[in-house]
Structures are given as structure tokens and as C-alpha cells.
Amino acid sequence: MNFAKYYFLESYLFSEVTQSFRTNGFLTPEEFFAIVIWKANRAKTTVKRKLTKGDRDLASSVKSLTQQIQTATTDEDKLRVLVEDWRFRLPMATAILTVLYPDRFSVYDVRVREQLGIKDFVDRKDQVDRYFSEFLSKVQAEGKGETLRDKDRYLWGKSWYEDLQNLVQT
């Protein structure tokens, strides 16, 4: 096995994991947790507990969850599977969907959200609708780059750079 592929985790996710999902219609636990770790390493134990609650085993839960995403008919339904059915928070849910559908989803990230001037709506009942109507549309409009993923990276990078500038100038 070529373990070096994990060094550049984002490249691995958007090539091998995205393709694996397209081919198989589900993810393995290793593929799924590579996404979780990429988004928020600190959350991996919490996510594992959520997926193994009761008598559920991890492999079956990951397969079931990712198959439900794959069979959901609309993008809104795909997000609802994660947010409403499985109780993932919006940032993690959108990270998962961004890897699975990089041309249709963008990570709901605090850095990007602040760049767009959007107040947090992560705990609101209408968060799925607002993700599409407010957040995603603004990423498309205000991000720079050819793809949605490029626009997401641009906004995140701009936020990171501004934080760096604030650090070194004070």
C-alpha cells in the first residue's frame, strides 16, 4: 500500500475517495473517516460514537449512510440525510458532500462564511434551505476560480491570509 497518498489528504479525497463513491455508491469506514479527519480531526471519536450508537457496527453504518446519500434524489435531500436523519452538524455534513459531489457542494466553514458576510445559521431549522439559498450561491458568486472547489479554496485562503496579516502586523 502506498501510505504517502495520505500525506496530501485533500488530493487523496478528491481523487480516490470521490471516484470510489462514484464507482461503488458507498464509502468504506477508512474513506469516510479520511473526510472526517480532513474537516475536523478532533471530531473523529464523536462521529464514530454517533455511527456506532446502540448495536450498530461501524462498517454497516458508514455503508448505509453513504448509500442513503447516493440514492437521495436532490442535493437538498442529500444534505438532509446527514443533517436531519444522522444528526451531523452542517460543517461536517457539507464537508462529506463536498468530497462526494465537489461540483455541487462547498464546505460550510467559518472562514468562508465570514468572508461572505453571512451570520451563522448552523442550528436553525431552515439551515438546509439557507445553505443553498444564501451560502452556496454566494460562494459561486464571490469566490474566484473555475470550479466551485476552487472558489471555496480561494475564500478560505483569503481568510487565512487576512488572519496571518493581523498576526504579523500587531
Structural domain of 16: 1-104
Q: Can you give the pLDDT at residue 101? A: 98
Residues 140 and 63 in one domain: no
Residues 64 and 38 in one domain: yes
H/E stretch holding 95 reads helix 90-100
CA distances from 94 to 5, 15, 33 (A): 23, 18, 14
- The Cα–Cα gap between 40 and 37 comes to 5
For residue 170, is pLDDT > 80? no
Using one digit for the tens of pLDDT, what is the confidence trace for 114-135?
Answer: 999 999 887 778 999 999 999 9
Residues 20 and 97 in one domain: yes
Three-state secondary-structure class, residue 87: coil
Residues 8 and 65 in one domain: yes
User: Whats the size of the chain, residue-wise?
Assistant: 170
Using one digit for the tens of pLDDT, what is the confidence trace for 72-118?
Answer: 999 999 999 999 999 999 999 999 999 999 999 999 999 999 999 99
pTM: 0.94
Using one digit for the tens of pLDDT, what is the confidence trace for 27-45?
Answer: 999 999 999 999 999 999 9
The one-letter code for the residue type at 55 is D
